[in-house]
Structure 1
């Protein structure tokens, strides 16, 4: 086994992950959409599963969905000769390196119409698409998810409505990558696009909800924030009008794509039910384990939940119907 830090392309680590302890499970989107009567145009028949077998290990990509906000594809591993889960490994305490198990994912690379995603819409990390993974239903499955950088300020390219994604997956201990060509086509469901321009201010911190792009499988919100540098500990919860927490599927932010130095944040949430009338954004500051700390480990309660202090004057509600 070799030591690696990288569990995905470096682009996966490009964005600032905001709004919680970690990226939410993409599977939550599937659970959520199963409850929300997803539009039939959003679940058009996906391309046939793509699979490759090498050294007794088979990888298969299926359930490909691109709804204009998020590209999600399910990855399954089968066969023999691997150890542990798809993303499993352990920390070598002597070297400080994380060592991946044999057959675990060590890297993922993606091409969009033959072009590496690192070159898709700009040279800087903040202008590139994000690439990430989320757990599946068992140790031998996960979800690969991609989103473009079009909501991060500037004139950055969105994914085309139809394209070919070439996915190369490197497994620890296997010499050659597993490469699969995946035809991708945007679902035909018409998105609800809102431009609310809601602004809330607290001290030197100001946040504006500029845009919302809503489909039955996901919800995408664009924020422009001033004063982020002095208020980096402000995070966000999202709830519907029934008080249900809306799952986060991804989020990142940057100040590199505009001349004013504003921070643009792009949040991708789970799909809303047909009954949902509004989304409430609830900013909060987390409590840290060490008193008066501004960084480090977050403090949790007896249930393991993050201790939060909500900032009421920054709260805003977006009416979606």
Structure 2
């Protein structure tokens, strides 16, 4: 796989997050959805494949596959790079040469012979020899470790509980791709709840189809229908955004959503939501789903109150929670 990302380092926060991966395959450095990557917990590390620290050396460059993790909803791994006289960055900043590309892209195009040796390109991922299908995939420099990158693949469809992971990755100025293989086993600490429970307010309703709790992530799947309710502040010249959903555990802690997207357009009346949040930690007795909206300006659908505050920190805009739409979901004990 060739990569077309521009400056593939962690991006500055766009909405509701503090850091992000560049999205694989988009060819752009400004993603619609952003996902901060949390450090692996000890539980997650214990679920990693035992032989995940696989390394291969070619032409003075060593790549090592590590931190492999799969919990049924998320597949992730790191690639560490070693060698002498390597460039400071790890991910390749180069765009493949294409005479039909735009002027902005052409500024980043460098022929292979003129590229610096040692940059890592976007990998190709195989599961039991077949190309991985993922509707949301990210790849970026690892913030917590120098000379390393990490990848995350979500919304994976149906994968077996055990499989062979093959990571094929090209390195600039090295002719043969690196191929790293490792057996992977699904994290067994997974709780899946399918409540099929509905809450309604006026013409709007949502139904929680599935809640997956693992040692590394929390997944929420739901369908919504109808026009979202508007608060008193969201009438006249303002309007509500689409509906978003917080997850709060039984101790009152709100889980951080791993990606939150916002499109500057009128909300649709039907949504299928399949989103990941940070891990809960110890298994809760219940979680509460708290739907909310932002207040937007319908002339351009921008979020009111979003931007840099007087303290220099970025403000995301205020959440408007809809109390009558809150839903409590019991979590079964082991």
TM, length-normalised to structure 2: 0.67
Change (3 A) 1:247 1:296: closer
Q: How does 1:221-232 map to 2 (within 5 A)?
A: 221-227=220-226
Distance 1:129 1:286, change over 3 A: same
Give the direction of change, closer, same or farther, for the CA distance of 1:43–1:176 in structure 2 (3 Å limit). Answer: same
Equivalent of residue 139 in structure 2, options 122, 133, 141? 133
Task: Note the residue ranges of structure 1 that are not aligned, 5 or more in a row.
Answer: 119-127, 151-157, 253-260
Tell me: CA distance 1:272–1:309, structure 2 relative to 1, closer, same or farther (3 Å).
closer
| Contact 2:55/2:62 (8 A) holds in 1 | yes
Once residues 27 and 212 of structure 2 are traced to their aligned partners in structure 1, the CA distance between those partners, rounded to angstroms, is 22
What is the match of residue 256 of structure 1? none
**Partner SS state of residue 245, structure 1:** coil
Q: Secondary structure at 2:316's aligned position in 1?
A: coil
* Residue number in structure 1 paired with 2:18: none
After superposition, the Cα gap between the structure-2 partners of 1:88 and 1:107, relative to the gap in structure 1 and judged at 3 Å, is: closer
Aligned ranges 1:192-271 → 2 under 5 Å = 192-202=191-201, 204-227=203-226, 233-249=242-258, 263-271=271-279
Is the counterpart of residue 84 in structure 1 residue 88 in structure 2? Answer: yes
Aligned residues of 2:48 and 2:68 also touching (Cα < 8 A): no
Matched residue count:
279
Partner of 2:286: 278
* Structure 1 moving runs of 4+ over 6 Å: 228-232
CA contact (8 A) 2:74 2:156 kept: no
Structure with bigger RCO (C-alpha 8 Å, 6+ apart): 1
CA distance in 1, matches of 2:27, 2:137: 4
Provide the C-alpha distance between the structure 1 equivalents of 2:139 and 2:50, rounded to a whole number of angstroms.
Answer: 20
The structural deviation recorded for 1:231 is 7.7
Structure 2 unmatched runs, 5+:
7-21, 96-101, 110-114, 229-238, 262-268
Determine the structure 2 residue equivalent to 1:107: 122
Structure 2 CA distance for aligned equivalents of residues 240 and 304 of structure 1: 26
In 2, distance between residues paired with 1:137 and 1:315?
Answer: 36
SS in 2 for 1:107: coil
CA deviation string 1:56-113 (max 9, x = no partner): 322211122222222221221222343233347499xx93238498444432211111
Is the 1:283–1:315 Cα contact (8 Å) retained in structure 2? yes
Q: CA deviation at 1:161?
A: 1.0
SS class of match (2:51):
coil
Shift of 1:43: 2.8
Q: What is the SS of the residue equivalent to 1:164?
A: strand
- Measured against aligned partners, the alpha-carbon deviations of 1:264-318 in whole angstroms (never above 9, x if no partner) come to 3222223222263333333333466x78521599823522241133231443333
Q: Which residue of 2 aligns with 1:311?
A: 321
Partner secondary structure for residue 288 of structure 2: strand
Task: Give the equivalent residue in structure 1 for 2:57.
Answer: 53
Matched residues in 2 for 1:88 and 1:79: separation? Answer: 16
> Which of 37, 44, 54 is the matching residue for 1:25?
37
Q: How does 1:152-163 map to 2 (within 5 A)?
A: 158-163=158-163
Give distance in 1, aligned partners of 2:49 and 2:145: 24
Q: TM-score, normalised by structure 1?
A: 0.69
- Structure-2 separation of matches of 1:116 and 1:228: 39
Q: Name the Cα RMSD after superposition.
A: 4.0
Secondary structure at 2:314's aligned position in 1? coil
SS class of match (2:35): coil
